[in-house]
Chain A
Amino acid sequence: MTAPSPLRRVGGSPRRSAGPALARTGLLAPGIVLLVLFAFLPLVALVITGFVNDRSQLTTENFAHVFSSGTYLRLLGRTLLLSFAVTVVAIALGWPAAWALARHVKPARRTMILGLVIIPYITSQLLLIYGFLTLIQAGGPISYVLTQLHLTGPQDSILYTPWANFLMLVYESMPTAVLVLYSAAESVSPSVLEAARTLGARPRYVFTHVIWPLSAPMVVVNFTLTFVQTVGAFAEPAVLGGPDGQMLGNTISTQISSGANDGFAVALSLVLLVTSLLVVGVVTALVSWTKRAQSGGPTNRLTAPPRPRTRARTPELTVARES
């Protein structure tokens, strides 16, 4: 609200200015207490626990343990690589669908399709994993159809292999990809694309020089969201992945559940978090580099990049800042 008018201030007591601040404290207090205790403290705890050993001494031995063993580093590498692949595949598969949704579907039908997209998005992840399991297991619908077609034997299934885990993670990442890239597609104005074509740009050139640079910010948002979440996956590999499909998340969850060595579990978590943020940072830098290379010339750096219109009020903006 605007400042109180001078007229009012004449009759007003000091309480009038103290009132709103007091009221605000009242409004904010419960939320801030919760956030400090259960968001700020856990994050601090993560760091501290990682640097403390069984005997409550300050130490880096948890990290030494992580780095001394090739097993954990290999698992870390595999987790990062797998998450990267999952994210890229989800974006690549989601893009054409999101594009069609924004461009070639009647607005009236769009709401319904978006509704269908968010069904898997807000369905319990465990139900989806279980549904996926019933789908691909030997004797399940896919196996049944393939067997009827004499393409596979009745007992063949990709269940309990790394592929099952990979497909599940892609499946779970797809709704995010469709939703975020849908905003990206919406933010590219149709007349700008037509302008590029009338100027003699072939479809490939239009993509690399107009569509890609204009969508890149949202692709980065998408990558960040999906990659960071996929890196922390543990239920999917545990249920579907079989012995060869395990990820670092499984090791961490086992360590946490056993409660034997919290420091080590936390050290693993921190290493995972930091390395995945590094990957996100590198990808962000790469994407903005390709964007700038395609837009030609450093002139853009002088001014803030234009913000796609649709991003202004959607929650992912806040996440975008993080990346």
Chain B
Amino acid sequence: MRRSTSALVTKVWLYAVLVVFALPVLSMVVLSLNESRYGTLPFRFSLHWYQVLRTDTALLDALSTSITLATEVTIVCVVVGTLLTFGLRKAPIAITLPVNGLLLALLSVPLLLLSAGLLSVFDWLGLGQSTTALLLSSIITSLPFVVLIERGRLENLSPDYAEAARSLGAGPVRTFLLVTVPLMAPSIIAGGMLAFVICFNNFAIQLFLAPVGISTLPVQIYSMVRLGVTPDVNALGTLVVAGTVLIIVVLNWLTGNAARLFTTTRER
């Protein structure tokens, strides 16, 4: 009896937490459909702010900058990350140890501090705040996630498949391309999607390394929030969250349990 009571209490707590998780997002969704100019209630349904969004070039430019950046970063990260994952598999410890150490440092040093270091390096290289600096910094912060996810899959992959292919007469290259890569595909796609998300959201890097005059979406929202918001941000936010949900659904489908991928994610 006593146990089922505590089970019920913690379960109610869990659902309460889920509701609280949803509140800021729901608030944004509700206000995006609300007429009010100042994001205040009472609620009067209107699609007005979605209309406004269609002509808000600042926000739309920022969105397209973010999407372009994230796409470029994803492509580079998937290629470099996949090569790195396979290269590390049988590499001697003299290589794996420092590489893993750097990947780990990238995951655990606060991005604010990493940005400061990156800015110094790009200053030395004469790049400063530039699109190249932004691109390279975004790549380096997304790369560890691709490697982590692909490595998890590769370690679980039975060598039997590759050995079977070899025993059937396939050479190493053919085996790699026709057997190993297809088996790795779900984790490569999942790693790519994660790289996209991490890069898209990487506010600190974008704030400090983007050249003057170029705003990604988080940076644009940041400056709008500080200088005065128009409620069409709600509309855009709603659309971005919808995209996020879609990504989670796809990741769940690819990996069986998307949540497992995110236990090292950090956003700040």
Contact = CB atoms under 8 A, between A and B. Distances in A.
| A/B contact in complex, CB under 8 angstroms | yes
A38 B116 contact: no
B116 A27 contact: no
Contact of A126 (B14, B23, B148, B218): B218
A165 interface: no
A46 B116 contact: yes
Given A118-B258, A233-B268, A49 B241 contact: no
Chain B interface helix/strand/loop/mixed: helix
Interface in B175-232: 197, 200-201, 203-204, 207-208, 217-218, 221-222, 225-226, 229
Given A96-B10, A122-B244, A137 B39 contact: yes
Nearest to B84: A31
A155 B17 CA distance: 27
A35 interface: yes
Interface bracket on A: 35 or more
A228 interface: yes
A174 B17 contact: yes
Contacts of B27: 131-132, 134-135, 140-141
B113 A134 contact: no
B265 interface: yes
Interface of A: 1, 20, 24-28, 30-32, 34-46, 48-49, 93-94, 96-97, 99-101, 103-105, 111, 113-135, 137-141, 144, 171-172, 174-176, 178-180, 182-183, 203, 224-225, 228-235, 238-239, 249, 252-253, 256-257, 262, 265-266, 269, 272-273, 313-316, 318-319, 321-322
Interface of B: 6-7, 9-11, 13-14, 17-18, 20-25, 27-28, 30-31, 38-42, 79-81, 83-84, 86-88, 90-91, 95, 99-100, 102-121, 123-124, 136-137, 139-140, 143, 147-149, 152, 155-156, 159, 162-163, 197, 200-201, 203-204, 207-208, 217-218, 221-222, 225-226, 229, 233-234, 237, 240-241, 244-245, 247-249, 252, 256-268
